[in-house]
A and B are shown apart, each in its own frame.
Chain A
Amino acid sequence: MMNIAAHKCYGPKGTGAILLGNGVENFLPFIHGGKQENGKRAGTHNVPYIVGMAAAYQILDNEFDKRIAFERQKRDLLIQLISENIPDCLLTGHPTERLTNHASFAFKGIDSLVLQSLLDQKGFAVSIGSACRSSKIHGQQQLIDIGLSSEWANGGLRITVGIYTTDDAIYSLVNALKRSIRILRRS
């Protein structure tokens, strides 16, 4: 079984699919009622969204290698600039064996909630920790789990790039990041 979401590859938000292999039995529907999708998912199909998702995956398939290479170049530039320009900074995870669009860091002595809001004010949308954690607002458990000490464990930041990311955007993000971290470390 595999779940996919259209917005992960620039398709319309709010549509996705579950791919069922032959061996999947006892699939229980979450939404009951109509007989759509062989009774596995009741409700009228949102045809334009579904077509949009199909088109997005078609484009992804056509451009896959190009897109991966593009993202990787942006990601590596980001990692390189941040590592060179910001003191007391740690790349979390493997330098290359990672998602091509994804870079994550820990900054010593920084509360990333504050950092995130400063960057937001400058127009950069970044994330702290994993997006899947929301029951506790703070405490970056993953950073503690990989063995970072407490002065690092609140300073996790996740930055992702995409097919519309430019080198200029990366340069200005790194500048904003550098300035914000300097301000926060001074106070």
Chain B
Amino acid sequence: MSGGVDSSVAALLLKQQGFDVIGVMLKLWAEEGFDRENQCCSIEAANQAHRIATKIDIPFYLLDAVEPFYESVVQPFISSYFLGETPNPCAWCNPLVRWRQLLQYADAMGAEYVATGHYVRTIKDERGITHLFRGTDPNKDQSYVISRLSQRQLQRSVFPVGDYFKSQVRKISAEYHLPYSEKPESQDICFIGDGDYRRFLKHMQPQRISPGKFIDSEGKEIGQHDGIPFYTIGQRKGLKISAKNPLYVIAKDVIRNEIVLGQKEDLRVKKVVADDINWICNEQTVDSFDCFAQFRYKSKAVPVSVRITEEKKMIISLKDDFFDGVACGQIAVLYDTEGEVIGSGRILKTERK
């Protein structure tokens, strides 16, 4: 429970269905000394969650996952930026910290399932295998970040709000007079005090940030950048270069400390290579299959064909023109036509045309 609407309503729905529910908040590592509304795991958030749990009439406990979170999420987040990637910390947090800690705790408590307020749906088939689907509300669907959970973790997970629209969840919360029903969404990276990752990186690793050249696709210098981690693939704003046509970040070269800028059509991605594959139900053994792939949390899935190599990498070939930024370090999630998650991988490199 975060003190937010989704996890609160998830707990409420389960309680109403007759489950024996225990409310838990994981205290994760977070920068201190900031006063942001919605700050993750603050004393205020813990008190809010506690009040909500009391209202629902369930116990509430605060658990400490500061160290595992720092090691498994915050440190790799920082390193990833310095490798020229754009990391997705939630995708690591879920399997490595959140579910690992909560399932361990569930075992100690004698609890069978872990429930969260994520907008995804699951169905258990007759073989006992759990299938993962997009949430009903297309604007809130979180299957992208849940796609990293293992089959074992999914089998013990319950997602009570996955069948609802956010508006319905807010309504339930208000009808039941849950405190803080009006609380705004949390948006930014939860552990960064003011949500500004550039300031965070500067603060954590000042000596590793050095300005370098912006170059065009011919290698000609066209400006100065402030440091590789401050830019992400597809970025247009904040480049501080005037040009006839809008310029976009096309590629980053960490070794030469150079960033390639180009036109929108230079962003076109033909192939995406991903490793660290997580299959939700079955390991795909067929050489090649067609499906849909999504490369960012908030972006559309596009038709692709996927080939699995012997080194267990996914080669994802895009069928249509695709100009949205695809950044290394993000997750590539494969869906079928029904919105079922087939599997996901970590984006290793992209090939442009």
Contacts and interface: CB of A to CB of B under 8 A. Distances in A.
Interface of A: 111, 113-114, 116-118, 120-121, 134-135, 137-138, 154, 180, 183-184, 187
A152 B108 CA distance: 20
Interface of B: 22, 27, 43, 46, 59, 61-64, 66, 104-105, 107-109
24 contacts: A111-B63, A113-B61, A113-B64, A114-B63, A114-B105, A117-B61, A118-B109, A120-B61, A121-B59, A121-B109, A134-B43, A135-B43, A137-B27, A137-B43, A137-B46, A137-B62, A138-B27, A138-B64, A138-B66, A180-B108, A184-B108, A187-B104, A187-B107, A187-B108
Contacts of A183: 107-108
Contacts of A135: 43
Nearest to A112: B64
Contact of B62 (A113, A121, A180): A113
Given A134-B43, A137-B43, A137-B64, 12 more contacts: A111-B63, A114-B105, A114-B108, A116-B61, A117-B61, A118-B108, A118-B109, A120-B61, A137-B62, A138-B64, A187-B104, A187-B108
Given A137-B43, A137-B46, A138-B27, A113 B63 contact: yes
A173 B59 CA distance: 19
B42 to A, nearest CB: 9
A57 B62 CA distance: 36
B66 A120 contact: no
- 5 shortest interchain CB distances as A-B pairs: A117-B61, A138-B64, A183-B108, A187-B104, A113-B64
Contacts of B64: 111, 113, 137-138, 154
Interface of A is mostly: helix
Contacts of A114: 63, 105, 108
A187 B108 CA distance: 8
Nearest to A113: B64
B76 to A, nearest CB: 22
A150 to B, nearest CB: 10
A135 B171 CA distance: 34
B345 to A, nearest CB: 30
A113 B26 CA distance: 11
A74 to B, nearest CB: 27
A180 B43 CA distance: 27
Contacts of A137: 27, 43, 46, 62, 64
B176 to A, nearest CB: 25
Contacts of A184: 108
Nearest to B22: A121
B167 to A, nearest CB: 34
Contacts of A117: 59, 61, 63, 109
Contacts of B27: 137-138
B156 to A, nearest CB: 14
A116 B62 CA distance: 10
Contacts of A111: 63-64
